[in-house]
Amino acid sequence: MSTAFGARLQQSVREHGPILAGIDPHGPLLASWGLSDDAAGVREFSRRALEAVAGEVAAIKPQSAFFERHGSAGVAALEELLAAARERGVLTILDVKRGDIGSTMGAYADAYLRPGSSLEADAVTLSPYLGYGSLAPALEHVHGAGKGVFVLALTSNPEGHEVQHARDAAGLSVAAAMAEHVRAENSAAPAGTWGSAGLVVGATVGAAVRELGIDLAATRAPLLVPGFGAQGAGPADLPEVFGAASSQVLVSLSRGLLSAGGEVEALRSRARALRAAYTAAQGAVGGA
């Protein structure tokens, strides 16, 4: 059986720092790099981005939508990026936010997590709002193929609280319930090792983690955290939002990294600077 994703990711963070490089080839960014807004531009964008960040970040996180919008040629560019990352030993977290039931969820899991699939990634983001149990087909790949998942819990968009903060009759919030499911999923991981089920928690959620009574450290989950950089959060927000779980944070940066421009050396320099800043911030929390 393959080494568990959580253990591989944790080792990658030790070696390369906590940054996840978001590979998001949207139109304005392609234009700023002098690239065409088509599949050829997306392919070149992905090639340069991977060349720049390989060895400098814990993983890359391609956003599938920005590839899909160019049809089959865009999806082919995504397949090429995932394969190239795999060849270079760079972990991939495919941001697809899929969530469905039964055979449909099984098909999504097969597409993105089955070893040998043309869209195979090391992990995917998942939406649990048809019920956590609906994610079972993806979780089978976690247990059987060493893959990972990141379950949406407290997202950075302002509308997220309408669902995620809602409470049941016993007062348990939806977000807290998702965290508890993930904690149970990770309970069998060896001591001191991250589980392979992660959570998506936005850096801009303020005091929500505390107010909803969520113990993120107890989940033993890697935390995929958008909201840094262009969305306003920075290294100083780590202790305020995540407290004792700050060492589990994976800092997801797209515009904050890729706005350095389309030259490989400039991107690599930006990745190194961001890595140093966020590694220091996590160290400061751990030593406080």
pLDDT tens digits for 210-240?
Answer: 999 999 999 999 999 998 866 677 888 788 8
The predicted pLDDT at position 156 comes to 86
Average pLDDT over residues 97-118: 97
Is 97 a known active-site residue?
A: yes
Query: Each residue of 17-56: pLDDT tens digit?
Result: 999 999 999 999 999 999 999 999 999 999 999 999 999 9
> Out of 26, 86, 97, 272, which one is annotated catalytic?
97
The predicted pLDDT at position 183 comes to 98
Closest CA to 285 of 243, 231, 227, 228: 243
The predicted pLDDT at position 230 comes to 61
What six digits make up the tokens of 198? 């992660």
**Mean model confidence pLDDT for the chain:** 94
Question: Is residue 254's pLDDT more than 70?
Answer: yes
Average pLDDT over residues 232-249: 86
The predicted pLDDT at position 195 comes to 98
| CATH of residue 34 | 3.20.20.70
Question: Is residue 198's pLDDT more than 60?
Answer: yes
> Which residues contact residue 284 at a Cβ distance below 8 angstroms, ignoring those fewer than 6 apart?
239
CA angle 84, 88, 92 (to 5 degrees): 70
Dihedral over alpha carbons 14, 19, 25, 29 (to 10 degrees): -140
Lowest mean pLDDT across 5-14, 125-134, 172-181, 240-249? 240-249
> Which residues contact residue 219 at a Cβ distance below 8 angstroms, ignoring those fewer than 6 apart?
179, 182, 183, 186, 195, 199, 245
Average pLDDT over residues 247-265: 93
Residue 267: pLDDT band by 50, 70, 90 thresholds?
Answer: very high
Domains held by the chain: number: 1
Q: What is the DSSP letter of 58?
A: S
The predicted pLDDT at position 38 comes to 98
Question: Is residue 2's pLDDT more than 90?
Answer: no
Q: What are phi and psi of 92, to 5 degrees?
A: -125, 130
Domain that holds residue 79: 5-287
CA distances from 223 to 48, 159, 196, 198 (A): 27, 20, 11, 6
User: Do residues 47 and 77 make contact, with C-beta atoms less than 8 angstroms apart?
Assistant: no
The predicted pLDDT at position 170 comes to 93
Query: Each residue of 144-169: pLDDT tens digit?
Result: 999 999 999 999 888 999 999 999 99
Question: Is residue 5's pLDDT more than 70?
Answer: yes
The predicted pLDDT at position 288 comes to 42
What six digits make up the tokens of 160? 């997220």
